[in-house]
Amino acid sequence: MQRKSTYRKLLFFLLFVNVIALVFFTYKELDDSIPNNIRLMVGKDGSFNFNLPVEADFDGDNVGVISVNNKRVPTNQIKLDFNKPFTLNSSEKAKYKISLKLFGIINFKQIELGVMDSMELMPSGSPIGIYVETDGVMVLGTGVISAADGLNYEPAINKLKSGDYIISADGESIENKDDLIRAIQNSNGKDLKITVRRDSKNIDYMITPVKTPNNEYKIGAWIRDNTQGIGTMTFVTEQGEFGALGHGITDVDTSLIMQIQRGFVYSAEIMTIIKGRQGAPGELIGLINQSEQYKIGKIDKNTNQGIFGTINGNYKSSSEKGFLPVGLKQDVKIGPATILSCIDNEVKEYDIEIEKIDVNSSSPNKGMVISITDPELLQLTGGIVQGMSGSPIIQNNKIIGAVTHVFIQDSTKGYGTFIENMIYNLQEE
């Protein structure tokens, strides 16, 4: 009898666990099926078909500029049934909050509708040389100093942190390494007030420079004030703005997005191709023509979706595509697509396959899984290699994204970001 009771309790427990698991995975599947943000372009219809038992209410004071299924709806009366196909259109650039309810009753989640300026883009695929200077001097880490007295000191330990930006010393602005070295030497070993920017806040520390055996003063900090590399131009707008890389410029030591004061893009030539293989991503090795006549643009922003700025008169487009319409997230389909990339100093279109679409990826520049299917590109590079980041992705004659990462264990596959993410960062003030 006792055994039956124990067995019955075990069955109820297993049933309970199964029900909880079913609810959890059903909820997660629903959550993954609806983007956390939906984007439109001003004056352009966005078509959606979620086929889910969800209803939506708009929050905001200016939703009168939104039309649903080609009908203007009075303010605060917009309701969407996600169980049926619908279209949205906005006559103005704006942001809205949309509250979702499961079966029209249970609060589900809140998503954002962002309306961007309408535009067409010229896809590029050209290699570019990138040079940026940090906004302040970036701290990579701290270390030990062997002093003139024969002892070891760590004056910056527990004060400066990896990822800090030194912006002033004793009230004097610090723009580069030379400024900081000069301030440290001029201190003559007296306490120096170092101001750093950390997580958008300014913090002061008193640090005492240490005299070394060769009569120099140091504070025991590894620093960097610039970086450079090779990447790919993704697009140019009709207004002369550009987007490139599809991901941010990160510091090689800290892996943090670099905060930049200024930067430039230059024309570049691909000199050598290192083919990718399992466990070892390949690389495009290029020559940056870093002189004024080859400077083709200025970098204004470094974001997790790429670098953005303006081109100048030295830029010459190598694209034969001309300006293409933008394909937003809802337009992207699993199946064939192409990329534009310059491998042998000529921009060509190569075949790829979009294998997976993740509208709610935790990493914004990993919204698509792509695989290289073009025999020529596979022969040349083995798939995706470093330096191809930013290569525009085209599907159904629309620019829909950019290549961002390669899979370490399979160089034929990698990630792409949605082009709407790059445009959103470009237009964001």
Note whether 118 and 205 are within 8 A (CB). no
The pLDDT score that the predictor gives to residue 125 is 94
The catalytic position among 164, 247, 341, 391 is 247
pLDDT 10s digits, 61-89: 555 466 777 776 665 567 788 888 888 88
Q: Which of 40, 102, 406 has its CA nearest to residue 246?
A: 406
Q: Is 374 a catalytic residue?
A: yes
Architecture per CATH, 144-219: Roll (2.30)
Q: What are phi and psi of 379, to 5 degrees?
A: -70, -40
Q: Model pTM?
A: 0.88
CA distance 369 to 12: 41
Q: Which of 37, 34, 30 has its CA nearest to residue 364?
A: 37
The pLDDT score that the predictor gives to residue 320 is 75
All structural domains of the chain with their residue ranges: 1-32, 34-118, 120-136+226-429, 144-219
Our measurement of the distance from residue 166's CA atom to the centroid of its chain's CA atoms, rounded to an integer in Å, reads: 25
> Residue 214: CB partners within 8 Å, gap ≥ 6?
none
Alpha helix positions (H), 152-241: 177-186
pLDDT 10s digits, 279-309: 888 888 888 888 899 999 999 999 999 999 9
The pLDDT score that the predictor gives to residue 54 is 84
Q: What are phi and psi of 67, to 5 degrees?
A: -120, 140
DSSP letter at 262? E
Tokens of 311: 């081109």
The catalytic position among 164, 179, 225, 374 is 374
Q: Is 351 a catalytic residue?
A: no
The answer as to CATH 3.40.50 being correct for domain 34-118 is no
Q: Is 405 a catalytic residue?
A: no
Alpha helix positions (H), 149-304: 177-186
CA distance 354 to 393: 10
CA distance 138 to 142: 12
Residues with pLDDT less than 50, the chain: 64
> Residue 248: CB partners within 8 Å, gap ≥ 6?
257, 258, 302, 303, 304, 305, 306, 307
Q: Which of 136, 152, 134 has its CA nearest to residue 144?
A: 152
The answer as to CATH 3.30.565.10 being correct for domain 120-136+226-429 is no
The catalytic position among 389, 391, 405, 411 is 389
**What Å distances lie between residue 344 and 267, 273, 347, 376, CA to CA?**
15, 9, 8, 11
The pLDDT score that the predictor gives to residue 363 is 83
